[in-house]
Structure 1
Amino acid sequence: MIIPPGLDVATTVLLLGCSTLTSLLTATLGAGGGVLLLLLLALWLPPAIIIPVHGLIQLGSNGGRAALTWRHIDWRLLRAFAPGVALGVLAGALLLVTLPPAIWQLSIGLFVLYLCWGPPLPRAALGATGTFAAAALTSFASLFVGATGPLVAAFVKQTQTDR
């Protein structure tokens, strides 16, 4: 096992366990595990690496779940979502390198508060323009706050009747 500098074996094993349990939470309930993992990572990891580490964990977890459920993927929605994702990631990457760490830390905290107590997405988020905008905004935000799954899920839930 490769242990990152600054972490001991016990903390590394604990974080691996947290990753597994929060992935199970999302698989069981449909959402929430990513945000919980983000908060748990913040207890032990330096702020500058929380989002990249969280992103790699999410890639593995969501990639595995997609591989298991590929027959149920709405490819039409995915094709509509992809161009906005590309634009959001590009815009976020250009801005991310110029922000001081305190701004991303504040972004993460405000994002978690919004997920808990913020209003639902407006109905205007539906349709081709809404899909593009939702993809761009959630992809942009993911570079700063990590777990945008609940926002994407709220959007997808409004576009489909079958989960």
Structure 2
Amino acid sequence: MSTDDLRAIELLTRVRYGRVATSMRAMPFVAPARHIVADDRVVLRMHRGMGYHQACSGSVVAYGADNFHSGGPDLWAVQFTGTANMVRPTEDQLELFGPGPHHVDGEPFEPVYMRLTPQFATVHILEYGTEPAAAASEDGNGRRHNRHAA
């Protein structure tokens, strides 16, 4: 794996949810998914009731996640592209996923799992310019961190 791929995997471990994208009946869609990283692969958990797993299984998909909700000064987004395949997670993987929601779109949650073997990984880092001293803070290493509203 390249340094960028390893960085993308490391960042992905910092958040729990992302979005999977592919097409179904020639129409693009984006759906929420819970993820874990296992053996340098991304394992996704989705709700069977949406039916999106059928379009994803055996197809090339994109999976993206970010920390935009954090409001922190260091914002990033990662995207992985690769083939998704249905899998049965191990007990250890199920433990990493944790409990699922009780309902999705009003239906009882029924999980399905897919493994994405990333063939391409992209990392986007959002860096902001220097603000006036009142909006900046300094960390213990003498680096300035700025807060901005998007």
By the TM > 0.5 criterion, same fold? Answer: no
TM-score (norm 1): 0.19
Q: Which has the higher helix share?
A: 1
Q: Which has the higher strand share?
A: 2
| Structure number, greater radius of gyration | 2
TM-score (norm 2): 0.20
